[in-house]
Amino acid sequence: MEMRERADAARNRAKVLAAAAELFETGDPRTVTMEDIARTAGVGRGTLYRRYPDVASIAAALLDEHERLLQDELLRGALGAITLGIVVHK
């Protein structure tokens, strides 16, 4: 049986990933701290650490989310055959 994520946990996860993406894009990702991410996401440090032990785990979750979104787009065919060929051959 698949466990569904609570609505508040899903919202917090989305806020954390969006905050991390913003911080990684606008500055040096190597200097981003857990405190930076919590503050930007508007969540408490305890909320952040409950799911992610460190910045690297947030970066990995962000990559996983991007991969999932890409796969969803490919499966729906939204990117088209030409783009699919480019993605596959890279």
C-alpha closest to that of 20 among 7, 29, 12: 29
- Which pLDDT score, from 0 to 100, does residue 74 have? 77
Of residues 52 and 80, the one with the higher pLDDT is: 52
Domains and CATH numbers, the chain: 7-89 (1.10.10.60)
End-to-end Cα separation, the chain, in angstroms: 36
Mean pLDDT confidence for 57-86 = 79
Dihedrals phi, psi of 18, to nearest 5 degrees? -65, -40
**3-class DSSP state of 52:** coil
C-alpha closest to that of 47 among 57, 60, 34: 34
pLDDT in tens, 4-62: 778 888 999 999 999 999 999 999 999 999 999 999 999 999 999 999 999 999 999 99
Gap between the Cα atoms of 51 and 49, Å rounded: 5
